[in-house]
Structure formats: structure tokens, C-alpha cells
Amino acid sequence: MQTSVAMTDIGRRRKVNQDYVYASDQPVGNLPNLYVVADGMGGHRAGDLASSYGVQKFVEAVRRCTDVRPALILQKAIRYANYRLYEKSCEREDYYGMGTTLVALCVCGYEALAVNIGDSRLYEVTPDGIRQISQDHSLVAELVRKGELSPQEARRHPDKNIITRALGIQEEAEIDLFPFHADRGNRYLLCSDGLSNMVEDTELCRLIQKDQPLQDIGGRLILEANRNGGTDNIAVVLVEIG
């Protein structure tokens, strides 16, 4: 059985919170659980609408899906959410171009599956350390993968917030699926770049490894992001495998 906590914070510089979180330890449709982080983009009205609407349509599609295979459920749900969000962006001029990142996790026993579009992240934290499971869809991440930038240079790059994929910006969404093994005692962090840009992976690992309730750890992660500048909204979902 999983336990989880989900929270967002507006940060220290923004006037609107465009991050959105969802967490259910109980079944959602034919999935045994579901955890989601989204980070909206667009004007100050469109960004928060994009993340909330995108996640709501994603969860709605998961609930309604009659398939029993988690990979197909997540794929169908994200495609449905993408199309509905794209439709919404065409309704009004001030919605034009809005979109959102989305990273989601489902744990089925000791097997887990993540789906990702954009640069919100999924991390796995074990007693041995931390690893990023998702892959960023961003300009600097592609340069790192090509060997043209180091990870350290990418963190300071002026274009680090330019993403190459997002939900809702076109009729079809290109997504990544990540199946992996989830051991008992592991902790998983889903977060927006408002956390990962502000707190180094080694510090994320140190804080999440602490023998403390998830609620306290989540609060400390947000505190550290704000202490380091809080230049963006912060979204945190923490999941522990029981």
C-alpha cells in the first residue's frame, strides 16, 4: 500500500500559482492509484487553467477508461486530456498557446509506470541515492543528451525553461512511458521545475531520505526552494511504497 502527500506553493516571485497536483492512494478507474504534477504555461490566466484543466481531464479519462492495462490507460488518458486542452485553447484569444507539462505515476504492486510530457520530473529515492526516472523535454536537456552541455552548465543556462513538448499546444501529444521496478521502502518525488531548478538533486535526496513523515519532508522541500530564491511556483507529490 502506498502513502502520499501533495502540495503546491506560489513561490516568492510569482503572483499566480500555475502548478497543479493530484494524488490518490485509492483506485482511480482501473488503476490502483494515481499521482500527477502539472506546470502550466501561458498568460497569467491561461497557465493556471491549463494545468488544472489538463489534470482534471486526464483523471476523468482514467476513471472512464475500460481498459485494464495501465500503459494503455495512461496513454489514452493523456491523449484525451491533450485534445480537450487544445480545444479549450482555441475558445478564446487569451487562451491561445496555453499548455502544461504533466508527469504521472501509477504503482501496481512492485511494478510502476510513469508517463511524462515536458520538464516536470519523477525521481526515485532509495537508501543508495537518487535517480531521475523521467526525461526532460527541454532545449537544454536535449543539449545535455547530445553532449553539448554538462548537467551543471544546464542548470545555469539562460534557456533552461524552454520546453520542447507540452500538453495541449497541438492536436497530438508526443509522450514518454517509463516502466520500472518499485521496491518496498522506496520514495518517489514528482515535482515541477520550481523545485528541481532551486534544489540540487543531492539535497533533494538528503531531505527525502530523512526518517520523517512525508508531510514534513514536503514542507521542507518547499521551504528550501523558497530559501534558494523561489523564482517559480513549486509543486511536490511524495509517494512511499509501503
Q: Stretch 6-20: mean pLDDT, rounded?
A: 96
Which residue shows C-alpha cell 492495462?
69
Q: What is the pLDDT of residues 22-36, one digit of tens each?
A: 999 999 999 999 999
- Residue 224 phi/psi, 5° resolution? -65, -40
- Residue 212 phi/psi, 5° resolution? -140, 160
Residue 44: enclosing H or E segment and its boundaries?
Answer: none
The Cα 142–Cα 85 span in angstroms is 26
Q: What is the pLDDT of residue 44?
A: 62
Q: What is the pLDDT of residues 155-188, one digit of tens each?
A: 777 777 789 999 999 999 999 999 999 999 999 9
Q: How many CB atoms lie within 10 A of CB 126?
A: 14
- Residue 43 pLDDT level (bands cut at 50, 70, 90): low
- Residue 151 pLDDT level (bands cut at 50, 70, 90): confident
Q: What is the pLDDT of residue 178?
A: 97
Mean pLDDT, all residues of the chain: 94
Q: What is the pLDDT of residue 80?
A: 98
Q: What is the pLDDT of residue 149?
A: 79
Q: How many CB atoms lie within 10 A of CB 68?
A: 10
Q: How many helices (H) and strands (E) does the chain have?
A: 7, 11
Residue 201: enclosing H or E segment and its boundaries?
Answer: helix 201-208
65 secondary structure, DSSP code: -
Task: Kindly report whether the global pTM for this prediction surpasses the value 0.75.
Answer: yes
Q: What is the pLDDT of residue 25?
A: 98
Q: What is the pLDDT of residue 192?
A: 98
